[in-house]
């Protein structure tokens, strides 16, 4: 029996991870949401729905132990064989002090590969491994399912790739070498993440609740498909992905974005826009790589400018809209985003600013 402690009882951690394992594994959870913890302790189970062949398959997951993050010590961690994290990139490094005190191997399902080397360095440990759940998991369900199954979630039937050093974890996981991890991560970061969040930012402009609702809008569909096409070309040139693989990945992504069964919330995808706009991340970073590789990124530039105006008062980065409205465009790019005036992406954003805003207005007024 392999005991697994999952940090992050959200879309990936609670919705998808249990599908990876059978009766040879036991899974417990850690989270920071006191309300969710209390409800799951009282329920003693929850339901995760997986989409297979156009329908939901139900999995009842027993909740034996779920800890608040403040309760977890190295002694708690040491009672397990493996740790899986799905807490979010901003929260991951906050676990470094805890992981310093334990030798239990960690598989990182965070959406940022750089975090693994940072955590290894911070903890002086080598047994921290990167994993890529190639799947969209929603931290919600339809209103009808939620009424019947409280705290239920929905996930796709995806694939998971993990560095081969963690092979003892087992489960329905492909343990692969560095070349395969690099290939899958390039596709996930750019052909998935970039159009995924741009679809959410555009969807927020029309008041869509779920991603599939945004993709029913003709202009949003065209822009997002254009972004995915630009990213597929960039990854072929920058990372050597084959045309066959990049186009397969592109078509898979657009289809999953439109899946009405997934109920993927716009707020979940669009959250923390400043993180996504970091100079080496999926928006500005992706645009910079495309420019170097002489890829036309008209759609990506429009998506980035849509991200600037994301407006959610409950979001940790809620001040982005305030800064966007109060600063001039040059100051916004320089001060809020951190772009230098000499950078080509800075110049292209300014060049496309008015045309992008015009297209964004057209999106908003053609619901």
Q: Sheet holding 55-62: strands in order across?
A: 55-62, 45-52, 153-156, 137-138
pLDDT at residue 145, rounded to an integer: 85
Nearest to 155 by CA among 174, 171, 140, 175: 140
**Predicted local distance difference test score (pLDDT) of residue 142:** 80
Cα–Cα distance measured from residue 23 to residue 132, given in angstroms and rounded to the nearest whole number: 23
- Whether residue 230 contacts residue 290, with contact meaning beta carbons closer than 8 Å, is answered with yes
Q: Kindly tell me if the per-residue pLDDT of 343 is higher than 90.
A: yes
Q: Are strands 25-31 and 66-68 parallel, antiparallel or unpaired?
A: parallel
Measured from the Cβ of residue 86, the count of other Cβ atoms closer than 10 Å reads 26
Q: What is the pLDDT of residues 31-50, one digit of tens each?
A: 999 999 999 999 999 999 99
> Over the range 144-180, which residues count as b (16 or more CB within 10 Å of their CB) and which as e?
ebeeebebbbbbbebebbbbeebeebbbebebbeeee
CATH number of the 2-176 domain: 3.40.50.720
pTM of the full predicted structure?
0.93
Element (H, E) at 114: helix 114-123
How does residue 7 score in pLDDT terms, banded at 50, 70 and 90? very high
As annotated, the residues of the chain forming the CATH 3.40.50.720 domain(s) are 2-176
Average pLDDT over residues 124-142: 93
pLDDT, tens digit (0-9, with 9 covering 90-100), for 53-78: 999 999 999 999 999 999 999 999 99
Mean of the per-residue pLDDT values for the chain? 96
Tell me how far apart the alpha carbons of residues 219 and 252 are, in angstroms, rounded to a whole number: 20
Three-class secondary structure of residue 36 per DSSP: helix
| pLDDT at residue 332, as a whole number | 97
Residue 42 is predicted with a pLDDT of 96
Token pair 């069964």 is found at 261
In the chain, where does the domain assigned CATH 1.10.1040.10 lie?
185-364
CA atoms within 13 A on the CB side of 323: 19
Q: Which pLDDT does position 367 carry in this prediction?
A: 61
Q: How confident is the model at residue 206 (pLDDT cuts 50, 70, 90)?
A: very high
**Confidence tier at 313 by pLDDT (50, 70, 90):** very high
User: Quick one: CATH architecture of 185-364?
Assistant: Orthogonal Bundle (1.10)
d(CA 127, CA 66): 24
**3-class DSSP state of 14:** helix
């Amino acid at each position: 029996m392999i005991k697994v402690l999952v940090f992050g009882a959200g879309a990936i951690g609670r919705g998808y991870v249990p599908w990876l394992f059978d009766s040879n594994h036991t899974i417990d959870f850690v989270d920071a949401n006191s309300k969710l913890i209390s409800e799951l302790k009282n329920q003693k189970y929850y339901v995760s729905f997986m989409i297979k062949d156009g329908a939901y398959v139900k999995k009842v997951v027993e909740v034996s132990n779920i800890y608040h993050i403040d309760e977890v010590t190295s002694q708690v961690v040491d009672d397990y064989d493996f740790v899986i994290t799905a807490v979010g990139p901003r929260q991951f490094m906050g676990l470094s002090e805890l992981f310093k005190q334990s030798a239990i191997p960690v598989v990182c399902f965070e959406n940022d590969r750089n975090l693994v080397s940072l955590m290894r360095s911070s903890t002086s440990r080598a047994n921290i491994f990167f994993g890529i759940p190639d799947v969209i998991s929603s931290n919600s369900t339809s209103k009808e399912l939620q009424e019947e199954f409280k705290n239920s979630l929905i996930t796709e039937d995806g694939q998971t790739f993990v560095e081969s050093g963690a092979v003892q974890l087992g489960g329905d996981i492909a343990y692969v070498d560095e070349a395969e991890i690099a290939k899958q991560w390039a596709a996930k970061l750019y052909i998935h993440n970039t159009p995924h969040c741009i679809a959410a930012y555009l969807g927020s402009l029309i008041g869509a609740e779920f991603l599939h609702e945004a993709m029913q809008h003709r202009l949003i569909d065209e822009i997002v498909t254009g972004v995915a096409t630009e990213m597929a070309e960039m990854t072929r040139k920058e990372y050597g992905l084959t045309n066959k693989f990049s186009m397969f990945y592109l078509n898979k992504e657009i289809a999953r974005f439109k899946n009405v069964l997934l109920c993927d919330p716009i707020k979940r995808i669009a959250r923390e826009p400043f993180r996504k706009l970091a100079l080496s991340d999926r928006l500005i970073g992706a645009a910079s790589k495309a420019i170097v590789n002489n890829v036309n990124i008209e759609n990506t530039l429009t998506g980035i400018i849509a991200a600037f105006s994301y407006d959610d008062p409950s979001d940790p980065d809620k001040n982005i809209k305030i800064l966007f409205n109060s600063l001039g465009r040059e100051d916004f790019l320089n001060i809020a985003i951190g772009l230098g005036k000499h950078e080509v992406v800075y110049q292209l954003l300014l060049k496309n600013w008015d045309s992008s805003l015009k297209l964004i207005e057209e999106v908003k007024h053609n619901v």
